[in-house]
């Protein structure tokens, strides 16, 4: 049965939880706000299935199939509501229009994120756009399998570790399954996000109506985090000034597995990898209209096929991977855990509210000392 020695050895993909024939695994929130499997040993029959499907325990060698990379922009309005060039929305459209099913990360009514299945084009906006916290896969691998066995086309999108978990769970190749992963910096703690939501709702004395992590109102390069409140108020601030994004981009609130990520390599389980073409302003400035351009990397023939189905809706240009990703090292190798992470989560465990968590980031003498003491204690 699954028994984790170190937190870093679990990316939270949920494959073990979903495969267990005795349903004796549940995903429980830890003291940092991330989910981990917990086994009811009284019910476990030691079948080892949970270990077999774990993408961290079993790192199968994947053929390094790099079939090319492109820069792409959706010609339609989908792009404005997407994080970068709007490739994902178009892929979703083509699958749904031919009777398929699409899985992606969506907000729930408490503004937490989990994977959902959609079956109609009207629902595409729910799964579009990056949500910068870990998405719960819940029972989406089981549902995916059911749709595949029914002969429907399925497009499943997520982080590279989620796609690896899904493929391990399925344990079989399906011609009707398409997978897309994102170039992934890492996933922040849903627990920290919850504290942020509570703080901003209190500040605006209102519930939330809509959230956009990547609002292009001031341009794509200089994107804003926007939150619409039910009382009609709007919060919109540049990503560098937003306190939650600041914690995320300083790598302070990522899942432990993200600091030793084994999935960021270019040999991937997915058919396509999508990301932000940030370096376009240096590489092909003539294409950069500051409304969002994606990079799309093809790993398999199925990836080539599905890209071919949407090519008329995209403006595309071939590009060398090393050139376009030159400035985005974090998407190809794990980030380094900063010294202040342990102190911030120490405060989180002791019920600090979001503003108090922000204070742990200040460069004061007291904080430096506390950071050192807590880090030494936890090592
Ligand atoms: C947590 C996270 C970290 C990222 N880090 C980088 C990075 O370092 N460098 C880079 O170039 N790009 C990164 N991206 C990808 C980037 O933000 C865009 O998602 C990508 O460029 C695709 O944009 P799009 O316009 O084609 O489609 P969009 O419509 O923006 O597509 C977003 C896709 O991401 C999925 N998704 C959204 N939130 C989550 C989540 N929490 N967990 C799993 N899947 C999710 C959606 O289901 C959808 O498939 C990251 C995305 C996420 C979610
Ligand atoms: S060993 Fe089998 S029964 Fe036990 S937790 Fe794992 S999958 Fe479930
Ligand atoms: S990585 Fe996935 S399969 Fe492995 S223990 Fe964690 S949740 Fe389970
Ligand atoms: S950085 Fe790696 S482990 Fe973390 S969410 Fe992304 S793919 Fe998964």
**Residue nearest atom 4 in ligand 2 by C-alpha distance:** 44
pTM of the model: 0.97
Other C-beta atoms closer than 10 Å to the C-beta of 40 total: 13
**Pocket (CB within 6 angstroms of ligand 4):** 11, 159-161, 184, 186-187, 255, 257-258, 261, 263-264
**Residue 95 maps to a domain:** yes
**Residue 84 maps to a domain:** yes
Indicate if ligand 1 lies below 6 Å from the C-beta of 84.
yes
The Cα 15–Cα 25 span in angstroms is 10
Q: Indicate whether 346 and 330 sit together in one domain.
A: no
> What's the confidence (pLDDT) of residue 294?
96
Q: Indicate whether 95 and 236 sit together in one domain.
A: yes
Mutational test site, ligand 4, from 136, 258, 269, max ligand atoms within 8 Å of CB = 258
**Residue 297 maps to a domain:** yes
Environment class of residue 52 by beta-carbon count within 10 Å: exposed (0-12), middle (13-18) or buried (19+)? middle
Q: Indicate whether 26 and 69 sit together in one domain.
A: no
The Cα 106–Cα 82 span in angstroms is 13
Q: Indicate whether 130 and 260 sit together in one domain.
A: yes
CATH no. for residue 41? Answer: 3.30.70
The Cα 75–Cα 272 span in angstroms is 20
Token pair of 38 as six digits = 């917990």
Q: Indicate whether 201 and 313 sit together in one domain.
A: yes
> What's the confidence (pLDDT) of residue 62?
64
**Residue 2 maps to a domain:** no
> What DSSP assignment string belongs to 225-237?
EEEEETTS-EEEE
Indicate if ligand 3 lies below 6 Å from the C-beta of 10.
yes
> What's the confidence (pLDDT) of residue 328?
66
The Cα 348–Cα 189 span in angstroms is 11
Report how far ligand 4's centroid is from the alpha carbon of 68 (Å).
23
**Residue nearest atom 5 in ligand 3 by C-alpha distance:** 10
Per-residue pLDDT reduced to its tens digit, 200-257: 999 999 999 999 999 999 999 999 999 999 999 999 999 999 999 999 999 999 999 9
Q: Indicate whether 30 and 177 sit together in one domain.
A: no
The Cα 271–Cα 269 span in angstroms is 7
Helix (H) or strand (E) holding 145: helix 140-149
The Cα 273–Cα 217 span in angstroms is 26
Q: Indicate whether 249 and 208 sit together in one domain.
A: yes
Environment class of residue 363 by beta-carbon count within 10 Å: exposed (0-12), middle (13-18) or buried (19+)? exposed
> What's the confidence (pLDDT) of residue 172?
94
**Residue nearest atom 6 in ligand 3 by C-alpha distance:** 10
Q: Indicate whether 118 and 262 sit together in one domain.
A: yes
DSSP class of 251: T
Splitting the chain (379 residues) into consecutive groups of 10 residues, what average pLDDT does each group show? 94 98 98 98 97 91 78 95 97 98 98 98 98 98 98 98 97 97 96 98 97 97 97 97 97 97 88 93 91 95 97 94 74 89 96 97 88 81
Q: Indicate whether 70 and 180 sit together in one domain.
A: yes
Mutational test site, ligand 3, from 3, 14, 162, max ligand atoms within 8 Å of CB = 14
Per the CB < 8 A criterion, the answer to whether 108 and 197 are in contact is: no
Residue range of the domain that includes 354 = 339-379
Per-residue pLDDT reduced to its tens digit, 269-282: 999 999 999 989 88
Count of H-run helices and E-run strands, the chain: 14, 13
**Residue 1 maps to a domain:** no
Q: Indicate whether 241 and 379 sit together in one domain.
A: no
Other C-beta atoms closer than 10 Å to the C-beta of 75 total: 13
Q: Return the SS3 of 374.
A: helix
SS percent in the chain: helix, strand, coil, step 5: 35, 20, 45
Indicate if ligand 3 lies below 6 Å from the C-beta of 15.
yes
Q: Indicate whether 202 and 233 sit together in one domain.
A: yes
Per the CB < 8 A criterion, the answer to whether 325 and 295 are in contact is: yes
Q: Which ligand is nearest to the CA of 1?
A: 2
Number of domains observed in the structure of the chain: 3
Q: Indicate whether 129 and 255 sit together in one domain.
A: yes
């Amino acid at each position: 049965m699954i028994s984790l020695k170190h937190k870093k050895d679990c990316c939270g993909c949920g494959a073990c939880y979903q495969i267990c024939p005795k349903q004796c695994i549940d995903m429980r929130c830890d003291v940092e706000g991330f989910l981990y499997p917990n086994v009811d040993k009284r019910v476990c029959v030691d079948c080892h299935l949970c270990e077999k499907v774990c993408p961290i325990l079993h790192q199968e060698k994947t053929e390094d199939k790099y079939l090319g990379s492109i820069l792409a922009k959706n010609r339609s309005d989908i792009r404005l509501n997407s994080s970068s060039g709007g490739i994902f929305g178009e892929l979703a459209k083509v699958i749904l229009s031919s009777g398929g099913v699409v899985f992606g990360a969506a907000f729930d009514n408490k503004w937490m994120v989990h994977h959902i299945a959609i079956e109609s084009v009207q629902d595409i906006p729910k799964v579009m756009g990056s949500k910068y916290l870990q998405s719960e896969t819940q029972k989406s691998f089981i549902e995916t399998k059911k749709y595949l066995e029914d002969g429907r086309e399925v497009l499943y999108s997520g982080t590279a570790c989620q796609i690896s978990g899904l493929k391990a769970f399925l344990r079989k190749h399906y011609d009707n399954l398409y997978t897309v992963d994102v170039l992934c910096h890492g996933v922040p703690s849903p627990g920290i996000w919850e504290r942020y939501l509570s703080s901003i709702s209190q500040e605006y004395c209102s519930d939330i109506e809509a959230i956009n992590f990547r609002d292009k109102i001031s341009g794509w390069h200089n994107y804003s985090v926007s939150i619409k409140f039910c009382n009609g108020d709007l919060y919109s601030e540049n990503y560098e000034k937003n306190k939650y994004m600041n914690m995320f981009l300083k790598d302070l609130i990522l899942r432990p597995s993200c600091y030793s990520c084994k999935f960021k390599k270019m040999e991937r389980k997915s058919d396509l990898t999508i990301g932000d073409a940030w370096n376009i302003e240096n590489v092909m400035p003539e294409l950069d209209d500051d409304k969002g351009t994606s990079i799309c990397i093809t790993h398999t023939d199925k990836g080539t096929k599905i890209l071919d189905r949407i090519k008329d809706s995209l403006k595309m240009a071939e590009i060398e991977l090393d050139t376009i990703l030159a400035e985005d090292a974090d998407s190809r190798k794990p980030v380094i855990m900063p010294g202040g992470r342990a102190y911030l989560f120490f405060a989180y465990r002791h019920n600090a509210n979001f503003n108090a968590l922000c204070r742990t980031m200040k460069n004061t003498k007291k904080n430096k000392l506390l950071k050192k003491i807590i880090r030494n204690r936890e090592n």
